[in-house]
Amino acid sequence: MHNNILLIDDDAKLGDLLSDYFMQFNFVLTCVQNPLQALSLLSHSTYDFIILDVMLPEMDGFETLKMIRTKYDTPVIMLTARGDTTDRIVGLELGADDYLPKPFEPRELVARINRIVKRARMPVTRANLATFTDISIDFDKGLVALNDEEIILSASEFDILSILARQPEKVFTRDDLFDALKGHDWDAFNRSIDVTISRLRQKLHDNPKKPRFIKTIFGRGYQFIAQLVE
């Protein structure tokens, strides 16, 4: 099985380099330099992964990611020229699954892609479908429905929700979540888990002060509190 990957970056040389390098890993790379062209491709083609640069012509990577996340849950790695922590946090808030500062080693990029894709395709060993009050989660298909209406989550958002929902009432510390999210290199700054949970709450319309789904246990971590429907 090969992975179809979309690279959105205006650096044509980088596209040529990665295209040649990815061939040995059975990755098929489509390179586009214009984000509007990329959005057009996404409307009629399926990709297993997206590599998205922050600095782009006409529309930056953050705006492009916003538009991608309105329709697609395809995993996204963002490339940041400065490796700025602010850029990383903004990317995570908008739905990126990982980030990689430029310049980078292509082998590291491949490793990050493989970890995330492997986790997304990992067979589910527990109940495939769980229905709670106001929310249902299909762990096998990666689908979430809120009051019977499907919502689009990024891979990282779905992963965190799955970890919490598989063990309702258990309090997960940030370290617990870091350990479970082995495909993400988030140890570099502690806010990443909090940012992703904040974004997840927004999509679930879950008020942190009066939570229906994810409760903050101050000084400890997070807890999934929705009642399981038998």
pTM of the predicted model as reported, rounded to 2 decimal places: 0.62
What confidence tens digit (pLDDT) does each residue in 39-63 have? 999 999 999 999 999 989 889 999 9
* Residue with tokens 């922590």, as numbered in its chain: 85
pLDDT range class, residue 126, cuts 50, 70, 90: very low
Band (230; pLDDT cuts 50, 70, 90): low
Mean pLDDT of 163-178: 88
Choose among 151, 169, 171, 153: nearest CA to 227: 169
78: Cβ–Cβ under 8 A, 6 or more apart, which residues?
A: 52, 53, 54, 61, 65, 87, 88, 91, 96, 98, 99, 100
Share of the chain above pLDDT 90, in %: 50
Which single residue is written with the structure tokens 């999509």? Answer: 203
pLDDT reported for residue 201: 95
Rounded average pLDDT over 208-217: 94
Complete domains list, the chain, with CATH: 3-120 (3.40.50.2300), 129-224 (1.10.10.10)
5 is written with which tokens? 């990957």
